[in-house]
Amino acid sequence: MLETTADVPAHRNSPGKDPAVRIEMIEDAGKLSIPFTTGILLGIGETADDREESLRVIAGLHARFGHIQEVIVQNFCPKPGTAMADAPVPGTDEICATIRLAREILPPDVAVQIPPNLADASYLIGCGVNDLGGVSPLTIDYVNPEHPWPQIDELRRIAGDAELRERLCIYPQYIEKGWYSPLLEPLVRRLAERIAAPGRGAGA
């Protein structure tokens, strides 16, 4: 994730989180035609203007290379015993406003994702979310293990009237473009055909 283009205290002891380093990595992925997921992290000391700038940088990279599949709008979850244990937590309305901003700035072919274990996704879908991320019934969220993934039935409830569909890590438009290693082609094609097979209902 880009997280933010701002220079925030939360990143000062993490050279790998330098915005310039992360932007260069996203740019390199674009040059190599690598489908890319990135995102912004809310509540790490950035301002509303910083969020807008971060989204515009992502949109600009996509305009140049066309490789951004999705942008995650994720709320920071403070943890006891850490330097940011008392950091203010972004509220649902604040997250919603950021999602709406993302939908204004990003082109329609870029999905906007919210982690359904960290925020009220059932409400935020109405703000412009169209992806619920890599939810796994087999593994925990290793960054936020105190927030378990919702199970499939719960995901159906969260989705409400929206269609819940399984997808691969690589989005269909990039499968069609062949933006993956030839060594992976048999696997990618097989999985894509399985997902597209008749009879696989929503959430299957």
Can you give the residue ranges of every domain in the chain? 9-164
Per-residue model confidence (pLDDT) at position 198: 56
Whole-number mean pLDDT of the chain? 91
- Nearest-angstrom CA–CA distance, 5 and 24: 12
pTM (2 decimals)?
0.91
Per-residue model confidence (pLDDT) at position 203: 36
Phi-psi category of residue 94: left, alpha or beta, with phi > 0 → left and psi -120 to 50 → alpha: alpha
Per-residue model confidence (pLDDT) at position 122: 93
Per-residue model confidence (pLDDT) at position 177: 95
Highest mean pLDDT among 88-97, 153-162, 191-200: 88-97
Tally the C-alpha atoms within 13 A of residue 177's C-alpha that lie toward its C-beta: 13
Residue 196 pLDDT grade (very low, low, confident, very high; cuts 50, 70, 90): confident
Per-residue model confidence (pLDDT) at position 42: 97
What percentage of the chain has pLDDT greater than the value 90?
A: 69
pLDDT of residue 85 exceeding 80, the answer is yes
Contact 150, 116 (CB under 8 A): yes
Q: Enter the tokens of residue 15.
A: 């050279």
Per-residue model confidence (pLDDT) at position 183: 96
In CATH terms, 9-164 corresponds, of 3.20.20.70, 3.30.479.20, 3.40.140.10, 3.30.530.50, to: 3.20.20.70
- Nearest-angstrom CA–CA distance, 34 and 28: 9
Per-residue model confidence (pLDDT) at position 202: 35
Identify residue 164 by its one-letter amino acid code.
L
pLDDT of residue 200 exceeding 70, the answer is no
